[in-house]
Structure 1
Amino acid sequence: MTSPTEWNTAPDPTASPVSVLDRIIAILEAVRESDGPATITDIAARVGLPKSTTSRLVADLADQRYLARVGGGAGVELGLRLFELGARASRPRRLLAAAAPVIRRLREATGERVGLWVQQGTDMVSIAALPGRLPMLPTSAGMHSPALTTASGKAYLAFCADQRVVDRVTASLVDDDARHFRDELAQVRSSTLATDLEVSYPGILAVASPVFGSGRSVVGAISIAGPSGGMDPDRIAPIVRAAGTSVSRRVAAA
């Protein structure tokens, strides 16, 4: 299994950026390509903008920590916030690399659809999927499924330390439904297993286990999905739990 390909396209150096986003990206690229701290004059010349416009945008970027002032404020370099965002963007790639052999073994052992998921907003997003015996189940990376109902979503939410994420996902639940969901998450925490029986897809049973990173912080979930009438959850459960444990160990060691 290979990681998703990334495409990098360079901006046309002869064209002046028009939109605010274009201008910001051009400024960041100019700073990145500069040998040492970049001055306002250098940046304005590189991106083809007036110095007054460049100065204002650079100040805004510095306030938001995308740029950092150096040399007594005479120049700027890339700020820490970009490195923070870059570190977060690399997590799915590290997770995929660590999980790839486990996913293959799980598919070979069960013959069912295997998925690797990360949380995004109120959804779980597939970063890897291997097909099983049910052709109607999507297997493309990038597929979104609701975290509220899916096994992978419940496996993630049960261990999510950010209550704001849980609150957003469960915002539509009221009274008995909310209490039932909290009880279900408590059961997931106890067993490190979550199930979805014909809620997300009719006739489909899914079983998922959380994947943890360093410090036991949850970073995703691994799942198996197959026909509800032909997949034994008692047999599948320990296999999925063992796969989640194996991926977690590999992520922590990476």
Structure 2
Amino acid sequence: MKKNVIRRRLVEPKSGADGDPDPRDGGVQSVDRALAIIETLAEDDEGYRLSDLAIRTGLSTSTVHRLLTTLEHRRFVQFDRDQSKWHVGARAFMVGATFARHRNFTAQAIPYLRKLRDLTRETANLAVVDDEFIIVLTRMESREIMRSLTKVGGRVSMVASGVGKAVLAAYSDEDVSAIIRHHGMPRLTEKSIVRPGDLFKELQTIRRRGYAVDDEEAQIGLRCVAAVVYDHHAEPLAAISASGMTSRVTNERLPGIGRIVREVAAELTAALGGAMPDPHQS
């Protein structure tokens, strides 16, 4: 399923007669444009044709082609000549994988994600906060025919995801308000929470029951049940979740899945040397 994403529009720098960037910008604009191309390619596994990529980035086709040629030489992108489409390359994956390796608890989390998947029969995810957004680090896919629609490396607003809301529930109201001011409350679906008052009520519920639910708030047809994994300071380190289609993750199953997710999150917290927060602490 292809996501609706905001089209990027980059500021055109001063250029010479041949359309190349003015040397005075020191190549910074070219770096910014190249990174925007890689980010755009990462949004869709099906890849982009040159003309579509130019439209998505707001750049001329000649500029995009020049940058793609350089990126292809460095293996950050690759070209499928059969379909005439560009894709993210192996080098981009290798660089991006460093982010997951830096979170050195990822390997330790795998057995617990496997347990979560087997107990719930749904896809188990491990995610962290990055720049006040949620990024999926790794996952254990469900064995069911219809699987979760999100992907590793996917980036989503905290207020519109189960793992994001689970982490927000561990924050103070002041910190949550600051995140809302910085990033807003995007309406990704008709079920997204877009009013601060509604979000704060939801966070109170999450704190009381120990797990969060994304009820088609990020993607229609997808439900996610999440809980926080804590570090040794009893601060959020990551979050795990079980996600699946609404046809399987029914309202009747939500409490049971929530209990399992909460318990596995507590087990992973202990395995990583973390500490659960004091429930009586305000």
1:191-206 to structure 2, matched below 5 A, reads 191-206=209-224
Call closer, same or farther: CA 1:20–1:137 in 2, change over 3 Å. Answer: closer
Whether the aligned pair in 1 keeps the contact of 2:228 and 2:240 (CA below 8 Å) is: yes
Q: Summarize deviations over 1:208-227 as a string: whole Å, max 9, x none.
A: 00110112111111001112
Distance 2:116 2:101 in 1: 22
Distance 1:118 1:143 in 2: 11
- Counterpart of 1:183 in structure 2 is 201
Is the 2:128–2:238 contact (alpha carbons within 8 Å) kept by the matching residues of 1? yes
**What are structure 2's unaligned runs of at least 5 residues?**
1-25, 29-98, 187-193, 275-282
Alpha-carbon offset, residue 179 of structure 1: 1.0
Q: Deviations over 1:72-123 (max 9, x none)?
A: xxxxxxxxxxxxxxxxx79953321331110111112222111001001231
TM-score (norm 2): 0.53
SS in 2 for 1:252: coil
Alpha-carbon spacing, 1:163–1:20, altered in 2? closer, same or farther (3 Å): farther
Measure how far apart 1:129 and its partner are: 1.1
Equivalent residues in 2 for 1:73-88, closer than 5 Å: none
CA contact (8 A) 1:157 1:166 kept: no
1:219 is matched with 237
Match of 1:110 in 2: 120
The residue aligned with 1:122 is 132
Q: How many residues align?
A: 167
**Identity across matched positions, percent:** 23
Cα distance in 2 for partners of 1:233, 1:105 equals 17
Q: 1: distance between equivalents of 2:148 and 2:261? A: 22
List, as ranges, runs of 4+ consecutive aligned residues in structure 1 with deviation greater than 3 Å: 89-92, 161-166
Amino acid of the residue matched to residue 153 of structure 1?
G
Unmatched segments (≥5 aa) in structure 1:
1-18, 22-88
Q: 1:161 to 1:218 in 2, by over 3 A?
A: farther
C-alpha distance 151-105 of structure 1, shift in aligned 2 (>3 A) = same
Residue 259 (structure 2) pairs with residue 247 (structure 1): no
Mapping for residues 169-180 of structure 1, pairs under 5 Å: 169=180, 171-173=183-185, 177-180=195-198
CA distance in 1: counterparts of 2:175 and 2:248, whole angstroms: 37
Partner of 1:150: 161
Tell me by how many angstroms 1:196 deviates: 0.7
What TM-score, normalized by structure 1, do the two folds share? 0.58
Contact 2:159 2:185 (C-alpha < 8 Å) held by counterparts: no
Task: Please give the root-mean-square deviation of Cα atoms over the aligned residues, in Å.
Answer: 2.9
Distance in 1 between the 2:173 and 2:238 partners? 14
2:170 matches 1:159: yes
Counterpart CA distance in 2 for 1:166 and 1:124 is 17
Structure 1 or 2: larger helix share?
1
Aligned to 1:99: 109
Distance 1:136 1:212 in 2: 25
Q: Is this contact kept in 2: 1:193–1:237, CA < 8 A?
A: yes
Alignment of 1:237 with 2:266, yes or no, is: no
